[in-house]
Amino acid sequence: SLVVSSAKLAKEILKTHDLQFCSRPALVGQQKLSYNGLDLAFSPYDGYWREIRKICVIHLFNSNRVENFRPIREDEVSRMIEKISKSVAASNPVNLSEVMMSLTSTIICRIGFGKRYDDDKATSARSRFHALLNETQALFVSFFVTDYFPFMGWIDKLTGMMQRLQNNFQELDRFYQELIDEHLDPNRTKSELAQQEDIIDVLLQIRKDRGFKVDLTLDHIKAVLMTRAQAQT
């Protein structure tokens, strides 16, 4: 961490040497899980970052897109209130942490993937998604000896941290690949809740149109999905 305690230093960092301080350090866990910095959060500040930011701002985070997803947010909040009301009426305790986590992940899934994992029939899929999110968040902030002493990277292998990171990445990649394959299926039928265009639909269309300097690959799409899921949880 860097503490800036004076206006003079703030000017040095934020204005004079802005380019030197605007990128994140390339940490092992973050680089692996962001597909070697292909996402918006962990990519170094360069031409690629500016282009991927342009894609996100124009197509994913614009006001029209946010407004289009408003019915999904309102529907999920209504479902949450109804669920809490039923629990209160039955004098059952309510774990607000679990309820809010469920609300957030369900909104993420509906907006990002066109799926709703909070139904009783989707218990296993919901558990898988939550487990992946929790493990990914933990690995993002985990301590890797390699980050501080590169020549001692063998310690991370000895402690099992590198294998844990690899296992999580492979499972996360498999999860996103399954979702993308479903969206690429020409015979795909959308459920009633997924009639609206979701984030994967948008990114696949951008990949097809090739209207930006960056030619999106499936890894780019997975990296953007990963960052979006982590940022909202």
For the residues of 35-74, what is the DSSP string, one character each?
Answer: TTTTSSSSS-SSHHHHHHHHHIIIIISSHHHHHHTHHHHH
Number of domains in the chain: 1
Which whole-number Å values give the CA distances from 184 to 129, 157, 202, 215, in the listed order? Answer: 21, 37, 12, 18
Given pLDDT bands bounded at 50, 70 and 90, which one contains residue 93? very high
Given pLDDT bands bounded at 50, 70 and 90, which one contains residue 45? confident
Note down the domain range covering 160.
7-231
Given pLDDT bands bounded at 50, 70 and 90, which one contains residue 18? confident
Q: Tell me how far apart the alpha carbons of residues 69 and 67 are, in angstroms, rounded to a whole number.
A: 5
Express as a percent the part of the chain with pLDDT over 70: 92
pLDDT digits (tens, 9 = 90+) for 132-168: 888 998 998 899 999 999 999 999 999 999 999 999 9
What is the pLDDT averaged over residues 71-79?
92
Which whole-number Å values give the CA distances from 36 to 76, 89, 132, in the listed order? Answer: 34, 50, 19
How confident is the model at residue 142, as a pLDDT? Answer: 92
What size, in residues, is the chain?
A: 233
Domain of 101, CATH number, reads 1.10.630.10
Q: Does residue 144 sit within a domain?
A: yes
Given pLDDT bands bounded at 50, 70 and 90, which one contains residue 231? low
* Cβ atoms within 10 Å, residue 16: 10
Q: Does residue 1 sit within a domain?
A: no
Q: Does residue 88 sit within a domain?
A: yes
What is the pLDDT averaged over residues 156-183?
94
pTM: 0.80
